Structure 1
Amino acid sequence: MSELRFEDVTVRYGTGRRAVRAVDGISLTVPAGQVVGLVGESGSGKSTLARAAVGLAPVSAGRVLLDGEDVGRRRVGRPGRAVQMVFQDPYASLDPRMRVGDSVAEAVPRAAAADAAGRRAEVARLFRLVGLDTGHIHCRPAELSGGQRQRVALARALAGRPAVVVADEITSALDVSVQGTVLNLVRDLQRQMRLGMLFISHNLAVVRYVSDIIAVMYLGRIVECGPARDVLADPRHPYTRELLAAAPHRDGYTRDTPEPVDTTVTDVEPPDPHHLPAGCRFHPRCPVGPLVLPGRTDCLTLDPAADAPERVHRSACHFAGELPAPTGAPG
């Protein structure tokens, strides 16, 4: 088992005044054998962080480490890839001209299968592992359903013998009836193989089902992070509370909002990432911020990220300790 760690990672696109920090100084740890759920709305930078973990997005500053070694350098001279990614759209990530068995076989390290017969046996094993009939090995992606293609994508990721898997919105392109089956498969495989996993989604209901730790991302930064049960029972950042209120209510997660919500604030679109607001980045949309409670002027000028490590759940909110406890609690 291995630990994946992001140390003050920044990913910047563009130059000059039009440059955008899609990921802005993120520090996050995926402990060995645990699932970290990364949740946030579209444009928050989740997928960019995922791509940085596997070398598909340039890291402008900071480091991505696996057991203390740089992920990029660790791959050199070692079988497989230490960190593997499962993409959101399995049809786009599979070559439509190749049989899916061949796509999976490409990812099998030579150390795991030295000859063609060994490679075929390994592919068959991986297909059975993800719940696919071995007869599907000779199919092309267009001949499979969305759920089957996503299972192939999982098999291909596992073929590389990874220490950590990054799963980026892997259920969002699937029918609702298939999502639960794939989530159960992911959770079972993670526990069976004791993998570390960074599980990314915009849906907090999905994230809380599989995660040991939940990290909430907003405009390129982690605004809250902690054990899943603690974050769900007592979220300390207003943005986390908004995400939780928007998630389907079930199994005791339903909660009443103790403070009045000004929908004229919460319905505001996210700021332009080229022109981020001063102070707290969430304050133009915050239901308990300075646009609702004028006395909270610190939110307009002071960045709460600086003191976040000292607050409960590393919350990037000046008033995290003053938020009333929610009335609902996880069951």
Structure 2
Amino acid sequence: MSELRFEGVTVRYGRALTAVDGVDLTVPSGQVVGLVGESGSGKSTLARAAVGLAELAGGRILLDGVPLRDRRPLQMVFQDPYSSLDPRMTIGDSIAEAAAKGPRGARRDEVARLLELVGLDADRASTYPGALSGGQRQRVAIARALAGRPEVLIADEITSALDVSIQGTVLNLVRTLQRELRLSMLFISHNLAVVRYVSDIVAVMYLGRIVEAGPARDVLGNPQHPYTKELLAAAPRRGSTSLPPPDEALRLVADAEPADPHHPPAGCRFHPRCPIGPLIRTDREHCLTLDPTTEADHRLHRAACHHAAGVLRAVGSNPPVLKELKEDLQ
């Protein structure tokens, strides 16, 4: 088991787009961190930076306190099982290619072991990807990732391209493997219900920044950032057949234009869509200019919101600061 840590990580595409902006995030040893956010929030870019597929413009990524350089004991399972496997290679060859070098017989045994580990018959090794279903291909992709004996596994939207009937099976497999192999895992999804199912810790990402993070039960049971609350409200619920009537404030911000990631808003990046922000409350114009991430460490779940409801009790070591924060939140 190993700890993966992002410190001030920034990733840019050209000069115009900062896809990840100063992200601090820790994947503790042996735990699952669920990273959630809508498309374009920077989740996949952060994952690609971890495995060396996206160049850092700033910050660093550490494994057990040591910066990642050429040696990257991380493996990634990608979103699309139909494009992540070479159609010209048997699935056994694809898995063997990622496994440690050794005698042919030993590698064949390792392929059989990995296939059985992900719930596939060992005799499938001679099968080509085109003969497999999407769920089976994703199992093969997981087996190939495990062949590299990773210390950290990154799963990027691994169920979003699958039928709903298959998603639960793959999620159960991932959760079982993580526990049995005691892997550290960064699990990425836009679906908060999926993240809630597999994660010990939840981090919420919006326009390249982490806006809330903490233990899954705490964040989902007592969300501090309005964006997290919005994601929770949109998550499907068992037995629900209809959407609840929209809140008046949500109705007012529903028509707001999505922020342009090439030109993110000043101040709080969520303010153009925020149901408790300046679009609704004229007394909150400071959200237009003041960046809430600068004081996030003093708020519950490190919430990047000037009006988060909670304040970390640990700040009590500096009573004047705590008093000012409480006054700001009133």
TM-score normalised to structure 2 length? 0.90
Please state how far the C-alpha of 1:90 moved relative to its aligned partner: 1.5
User: Could you tell me how far apart the structure 2 residues matched to 1:30 and 1:275 are?
Assistant: 29
- 1:125 is aligned to 2:113: yes
The aligned counterpart of 1:59 is: 56
Whichever residue aligns with residue 104 of structure 1, its letter is: I
Which of 230, 240, 250 is residue 228 of structure 2 equivalent to?
240
Q: CA deviation at 1:23?
A: 0.2
**Deviation of 1:322 (Å):** 7.1
> What's 1:11 paired with?
11
Once the two structures are superposed, what CA deviation does each residue of 1:82-135 show, in whole Å capped at 9, x if it has no partner?
11000000121111110011000000012xxx2000000000000000000112
Residue aligned with 1:320, SS: coil
- Listed one character per residue, the Cα deviations across residues 17-50 of structure 1 (whole Å, up to 9, x for unaligned) are xx21100000000000000000000000000000
The correspondence for 2:100, drawn from 103, 109, 124, is 109
> Do the aligned residues in 1 keep the contact of 2:33 with 2:203 (CA within 8 Å)?
yes
Judge conservation of contact 1:289–1:296 (CA < 8 Å) in 2. Answer: yes
Structure 2 unaligned spans of 5+: 312-330
Whole-Å separation in 1 of the counterparts to 2:239 and 2:29:
28
**In structure 1, how many angstroms separate the alpha carbons of the residues matched to 2:227 and 2:24?**
19
Distance 2:230 2:245 in 1: 10
| Distance (whole Å) between structure 2 residues aligned to residue 268 and residue 146 of structure 1 | 37
> How far has the Cα of 1:260 moved from its partner?
4.3
**Equivalent position to 1:177, from 140, 161, 165:** 165
Q: What is the RMSD computed on CA atoms of the aligned residues?
A: 2.0
Question: Deviation of residue 147 (structure 1)?
Answer: 0.3
Does the Cα contact within 8 Å between 2:193 and 2:236 map onto a contact in 1? yes
For 2:281 and 2:79, how far apart are their aligned partners in 1? 40
Is the Cα–Cα contact under 8 Å of residues 300 and 310 in structure 2 kept in the other structure? no
Query: How far has the Cα of 1:69 moved from its partner?
Result: 1.2
Aligned length: 310
User: Is the Cα–Cα contact under 8 Å of residues 262 and 292 in structure 1 kept in the other structure?
Assistant: no
The structural deviation recorded for 1:250 is 3.7
Quickly say closer, same or farther: Cα 1:258–1:10, change in 2 above 3 A: same
1:303, 1:240 → 2: CA distance? 18
Q: Which residue of 1 aligns with 2:176?
A: 188
Which of 168, 191, 209 is the equivalent residue of 1:221?
A: 209
Amino acid at match of 2:57: S
1:1-331 correspondence runs (5 A): 1-15=1-15, 19-73=16-70, 75=71, 81-110=72-101, 114-250=102-238, 260-321=248-309
**Residues 256/308 of structure 1: CA separation in 2 closer, same or farther (3 Å cut):** farther
CA contact (8 A) 1:224 1:237 kept: yes
The alignment-based identity, stated in percent, is 70
Q: Cα offset for 1:263?
A: 1.6
8 Å Cα contact 1:266-1:286 kept in structure 2: no
Structure 1 residue 149, shift from structure 2 partner: 0.1
Amino acid aligned to 1:3: E
TM-score between the two structures when normalised by the length of structure 1: 0.90
TM-superposed deviation, 1:193: 0.4
CA drift of 1:297 comes to 1.3
Which amino acid in 2 is paired with 1:245? A
Structure 1, residues 129-149: CA drift from partner, whole Å, max 9, x if none?
A: 000011211111111000000
Change (3 A) 1:144 1:69: same
Deviation at 1:268, TM superposition (A): 2.7
Cα 1:187–1:220 change in 2 (3 A) is same
